Amino acid sequence: MVVGSEWLGPLIRQTALNAVHVHRLHLRYKHSLGLSSQSPIRPQEKRTKLIAAIAKQYMDPMLPGDFYSALFVPDKGAVHED
């Protein structure tokens, strides 16, 4: 079968989504039979936990003034016209 280039991207994306869906259904099925002790987790919950872990790991607490002054560092080579 020959597939046109305009259909190739959407077909690959749909194939990947179908594979993820089947994988999640299989995990739920194994959990329902008692074959897996790991409870199936929703993608939203998993993303929330991962983002919270990354934020906790890399967060550097600072005062708002320090934060904004670090964002807007003056350019030392710039010439200001008055």
What does pTM read for this prediction?
Answer: 0.48
Residue 57 carries which side chain, given as an amino acid letter? Q
| 18 domain residue, yes or no | yes
Residue 11 banded pLDDT, cuts 50, 70, 90: very high
Question: Has residue 28 got a pLDDT over 80?
Answer: yes
| 42 domain residue, yes or no | yes
| 2 domain residue, yes or no | no
**What's the structural domain count of the chain?**
1
Query: Can you give the residue range of the structural domain that contains 38?
Result: 7-71
| Percentage of the residues of the chain whose pLDDT score is greater than 70 | 91
Mean pLDDT of the residues in the chain: 86
SS3 at position 74: coil
36 and 27 in contact (C-beta within 8 Å)?
A: yes
| 47 domain residue, yes or no | yes
For the beta carbon of residue 7, count every other beta carbon within 10 angstroms: 9
| 80 domain residue, yes or no | no
| 77 domain residue, yes or no | no
